[in-house]
Amino acid sequence: MPIQPNFLERFLFFTANAAPTPMLDMAAALGYQAISTAVHLNLFEQLHKRPSSAADLAQSLNCQPRGIDHLLKALNSLGYVKEYDGTYRNTPMTEKWFINGMMLDLNNAITCWDAFLRDLWPHAPEVIKSGERPYNFYDYTAEVSGLSHAHQQMMYGPANQNAPDVVKRLKLPDGPTRLLDVGGGHGAYTIHLCQAYPNLQATIFDTEIALETAKQNVDAARLNGRVRLQPADIWQHDWGTEYDLILLFNFIHHFDLVTNIKLLGKAHTALKPGGQVAIFDQLDSKQLGSAFNGIFQQINLMYYLFADGRTFSRDEVRQMLDAATFKNDQFFTAAKWAGQSLVTAVK
């Protein structure tokens, strides 16, 4: 976790401005590297199996003793491990978020962020100056071995956590229904919808490499016969017609307003009369607390730097939906969605 200043330190850093507060952000960068190193060494997994001394851990991980000692002390200062009489063990926070990957796959997140910080972030000054990127983010994740899967699985955890609440707000008619999940990647939302609606048949559009992850997740859910995985360029591929529901989840932030109107126009054409389009994405909001707002603004910067992405306000989303001739738009939020909103509208 971030370094937690005590009362006197908070006064010096935040109130009196008497200590160099930017050092806390620089220390956070060092903290990330300590966590990343622990993940790559399987240190948390080893401590999950058996609490160990630094010497025992150095032996079991085949590491240099002084190096492991320094790493453990750094992790202890950040709250990821705790030392009791010379024996280290994971803290409950580490057990929940690094060992139980069902909620959030931070191990794959580390794989992604190591790559992003190494390969993409150094270009930030030139991107901000010119607005041009010397890379295509989606080609990049496809070309680096294992990165596409890590990226999809990083997003699968929070999607899997959010999906039950999202599905409750998506009402489908009784009887046979059809779903199109555009850019559905990992497949989490399609899986949950199919589980909630036994008569639902679904298609996921995405790149071939992204659908490799979707296939693993769909196979694990035993939905093979009900979910069709279709590699597709969404702008060139025929979407088909007569869908009851089309998902555009974590998708509109990739495009500008005009392009999203075209995207929603394709969705409108593919839906049956009375069918719904559903958007789930980060939207501008003043309702967030300071921590969530800070994360939100960093995400905004990341979207821009990596893929010329952006976030939209509710009014802008309504403008897109109106331009694509949708009606009856509804907005849903939940505290656990961390700034994301669900938007539904009807053809």
Are 93 and 184 members of one domain?
no
Are 159 and 239 members of one domain?
yes
Please check whether residue 114 lies inside any domain of the structure. no
Alpha-carbon gap, residue 312 to 144, rounded angstroms: 30
Query: Is it the case that residue 80 has pLDDT exceeding 90?
Result: yes
Amino acid symbol at 254:
H
Tens-place pLDDT, residues 122-151: 999 999 999 999 999 999 999 999 999 999
- Of 76, 99, 122, at which residue does a domain stop? 99
Are 188 and 327 members of one domain?
yes
The pLDDT assigned to 317 comes to 96
Residue where the block lists tokens 């995405």: 206
What is the residue range of 20's domain? 7-99
The pLDDT assigned to 287 comes to 57
Please check whether residue 197 lies inside any domain of the structure. yes
Percent of the chain with pLDDT over 70: 97
Are 183 and 77 members of one domain?
no
- Of 81, 99, 117, at which residue does a domain stop? 99
pLDDT-derived band at 16 (thresholds 50, 70, 90) equals confident
Percent of the chain with pLDDT over 90: 73
CB atoms within 10 A of CB 238: 8
- What helix, strand, coil percent values describe the chain, rounded to 5? 55, 20, 30
Are 180 and 48 members of one domain?
no
- Of 66, 99, 132, at which residue does a domain stop? 99
Split into its structural domains, the chain has a count of 2
Tens-place pLDDT, residues 96-132: 989 876 667 888 999 999 999 999 999 999 999 999 9
Are 83 and 161 members of one domain?
no
Alpha-carbon gap, residue 253 to 305, rounded angstroms: 13
Apex CA 287: angle with CA 254 and CA 328, to 5°? 65
User: Mean pLDDT in the chain?
Assistant: 91
Query: Is it the case that residue 10 has pLDDT exceeding 70?
Result: yes
CATH code assigned at 295: 3.40.50.150
Please check whether residue 112 lies inside any domain of the structure. no
Q: Name the residue with higher pLDDT: 89 or 286.
A: 89
Query: Is it the case that residue 13 has pLDDT exceeding 80?
Result: no
DSSP string, 149-216: HHHHHHHHHHHHHHHHHHHHT----SSSEEEEEET-TT-HHHHHHHHH-TTEEEEEEE-HHHHHHHHH
Tens-place pLDDT, residues 184-242: 999 999 999 999 999 999 999 999 999 999 999 999 999 978 999 999 999 999 999 99
Query: Is it the case that residue 250 has pLDDT exceeding 90?
Result: yes
Please check whether residue 106 lies inside any domain of the structure. no
Are 95 and 159 members of one domain?
no
Are 94 and 166 members of one domain?
no
Are 92 and 167 members of one domain?
no
Residue where the block lists tokens 């053809």: 347
Of 198, 188, 137, residue with least CA distance to 165: 188
CATH code assigned at 37: 1.10.10.10
Please check whether residue 119 lies inside any domain of the structure. no
Please check whether residue 143 lies inside any domain of the structure. no
The pLDDT assigned to 101 comes to 61
Are 91 and 174 members of one domain?
no
Please check whether residue 295 lies inside any domain of the structure. yes
Amino acid symbol at 256:
D
pLDDT-derived band at 22 (thresholds 50, 70, 90) equals confident
Are 212 and 72 members of one domain?
no
Tens-place pLDDT, residues 269-304: 999 999 999 999 988 866 566 777 788 788 889 989
Are 92 and 28 members of one domain?
yes
Please check whether residue 139 lies inside any domain of the structure. no
